[in-house]
Amino acid sequence: MGQEIHTIIIGGGPAGLAAAIRLGRHHRVLILEKEAECGGKLNQWDKLFPDFEDAKTVRQTLLQRLPENVTVQTSANVTEVAQESGKWKVTLQNGETHIAPTLLLATGFEPFNAIRKEEYGYGIYPNVITSVELESMIAKGEILTREGKKPQSVAYIQCVGSRDEKVGNHFCSVNCCICAVKQSIEVKQLLPQANQFCFYMDLRMSGRNYEERYRESQEKYHVNFIRGRVSETSVTANNQILVKAEDTLLSRPIKMKVDLLVLMVGMEPSPSTRQFAEKLGISDPYGYFVSQNSETADNATVHKGLFVAGSAKRPMPVPQALKEGEAAACEIAGYLSDNL
């Protein structure tokens, strides 16, 4: 790139791409993506709640909208970011450096590692899987237990790795309630005979069509919602999972055997998010980025020229991450016109 770059964006997921689409119209932008292709977690997802939009189509649309001024560098592993004489210097693993007056961190999240909730048996009992694994089964159109059978009963556990002091995460991951509703609908479409149970503490359905889909999952897809956090699981001789919880609306312990148990894993800051948050002193207690002001400067940080966007700040659904990227682009454009 011969001319000076205005903005470096680390992370080519929804927030980073959305920011580049806006900024790239009038500024030169460089996206550094650590994976082999852009799209972030969209690449691991099949359909999006609530309209069952195809994640690949969303990703494709974003990539097509990138203006010419945007350069994308994939497999670019950023090891260091530092402020240097009023600019931001980014160093890659291969020693390459890039400098720009503004830097946007859109380094995203990673799914909670369910092995840490040992009482749910993930990694121990073969028929305990995560929502991420279920999503790829749904994408293939085939839901099978480890023994290769179609499950007759499926249970979902909400809030795995979220709202749980035991794993150090007090926060709600926002996306897992809606994900359970979405996946239980899709599973029922693929396995019309299956009985489904969803163990929840609260069902958080706060967007357009969210509550409607929840209602639909009950009315049309007969999902049984049971209020109570599963306390433990064990395995039976034929690899079914025995689930124990309190049916809190009856004040009575409940147990059941299911063929497949799905853990709705929460969202934690990605390793890069944690690393930069700590290095730059903008970390919240969990390792997410803290903006300058959550009301009036939610994409700026305490550092001049440094901006943050998307699920590296806190868990959020895809549409919000896209808006985040656009909002960050506005703040960056304003900063550039004031300072250049």
**Residues interacting with other proteins, by CB under 8 A?**
197, 215, 218-219, 222, 224-225, 227, 244, 247, 249-250, 252-257
In the list ligand SF4, other proteins, none, the entry touching 87 (Cβ below 5 to 8 angstroms by class) is none
CA–CA dist 151, 285 (Å, integer): 40
Closer CB to other proteins, 63 or 235, in the complex: 235
Shortest CB 211 distance to ligand SF4, Å = 13
CA–CA dist 92, 75 (Å, integer): 10
Cβ-based burial of 213 (10 A; exposed 0-12, middle 13-18, buried ≥19): buried
In the list other proteins, ligand SF4, none, the entry touching 225 (Cβ below 5 to 8 angstroms by class) is other proteins
Closer CB to other proteins, 141 or 253, in the complex: 253
Q: Are strands 109-111 and 267-269 parallel, antiparallel or unpaired?
A: antiparallel
In the list other proteins, ligand SF4, none, the entry touching 169 (Cβ below 5 to 8 angstroms by class) is none
Shortest CB 229 distance to other proteins, Å = 16
Closer CB to ligand SF4, 99 or 201, in the complex: 201
CB 253 within 8 A of CB 247: yes
Shortest CB 332 distance to ligand SF4, Å = 30
Closer CB to other proteins, 250 or 297, in the complex: 250
CB contact burial 139-172 (16+ within 10 A = b; e otherwise) = eeeebebeeeeebebbbbbbbbbbbbeebebebb
In the list ligand SF4, other proteins, none, the entry touching 123 (Cβ below 5 to 8 angstroms by class) is none
What are the beta bridge partners of residue 85? none
In the list ligand SF4, other proteins, none, the entry touching 244 (Cβ below 5 to 8 angstroms by class) is other proteins
CB 37 within 8 A of CB 63: no
Closer CB to other proteins, 166 or 252, in the complex: 252
Cβ-based burial of 294 (10 A; exposed 0-12, middle 13-18, buried ≥19): exposed
CA–CA dist 321, 13 (Å, integer): 9
In the list other proteins, ligand SF4, none, the entry touching 215 (Cβ below 5 to 8 angstroms by class) is other proteins
Residue 118 to residues 39, 162, 199, 223, 255, Cα–Cα distance (Å): 31, 14, 17, 26, 18
Shortest CB 261 distance to other proteins, Å = 14
Closer CB to other proteins, 124 or 250, in the complex: 250
Instruction: List Cβ neighbours of 337 (8 Å cut-off, separation of 6 or more).
Output: none
CA–CA dist 147, 218 (Å, integer): 29
In the list ligand SF4, other proteins, none, the entry touching 172 (Cβ below 5 to 8 angstroms by class) is ligand SF4
Shortest CB 203 distance to ligand SF4, Å = 7
Shortest CB 224 distance to other proteins, Å = 7
Closer CB to ligand SF4, 56 or 163, in the complex: 163
Query: In 5-101, at which residue ranges do the beta strands (DSSP E only) sit?
Result: 7-10, 29-32, 47-48, 53-54, 70-73, 78-84, 87-92, 97-100
Shortest CB 131 distance to other proteins, Å = 22
Shortest CB 175 distance to ligand SF4, Å = 6
Interface residue list for ligand SF4 (CB under 6 A) = 158-159, 162-163, 172-174, 176-177, 202, 204, 264, 266
In the list other proteins, ligand SF4, none, the entry touching 127 (Cβ below 5 to 8 angstroms by class) is none
DSSP state of 312: G
Alpha helices in 44-174 (DSSP H): 55-65, 131-140
Closer CB to ligand SF4, 18 or 264, in the complex: 264
In the list ligand SF4, other proteins, none, the entry touching 176 (Cβ below 5 to 8 angstroms by class) is ligand SF4
Q: Give Dmax over CA atoms of the chain in angstroms.
A: 70
Coil, helix or strand for 77? coil
